[in-house]
Amino acid sequence: MCEHCAMRGDRVEVVVDVGGETRTFEIVAGKAGRRVDISTVRGTVEVSEVTRTGEVVRTGRFMASRVVAVMEFPADDASSGRRAQTPSNQTSIL
């Protein structure tokens, strides 16, 4: 698997104004190899869980005018098995 691919544990929270209060919705990459994609299309914010092959598993759609915040939480490197990568233009301290 490539180093840029998302892993299980990716999560996106969307805060939506529902008239007088806000509600928080959460989309999580539930299985290994899945990722969460965010797009804005025709005044709609779409948050989708996507497999490695690009197949959409589920999608949350929200009116962009009602979205207060979109917060992305990538998978923790320790829990997902990914190693922290040293940028190519920097040397390792150890």
Domain ranges of the chain: 11-76
What pLDDT score was predicted for residue 10?
Answer: 82
The model's confidence at residue 43, banded by pLDDT at 50, 70 and 90, is very high
Average the pLDDT over 7-18 and give the result.
81
DSSP string, 20-83: SSEEEEEEE--STT-EEEEEEETTEEEEEEE-TTS-EEEEEEEEGGGEEEEEEEPPPHHHHTPP
On the question of pLDDT at 17 being above 70, the answer is yes
What pLDDT score was predicted for residue 41?
Answer: 87
pTM above 0.75, yes or no: no
Average the pLDDT over 60-82 and give the result.
78
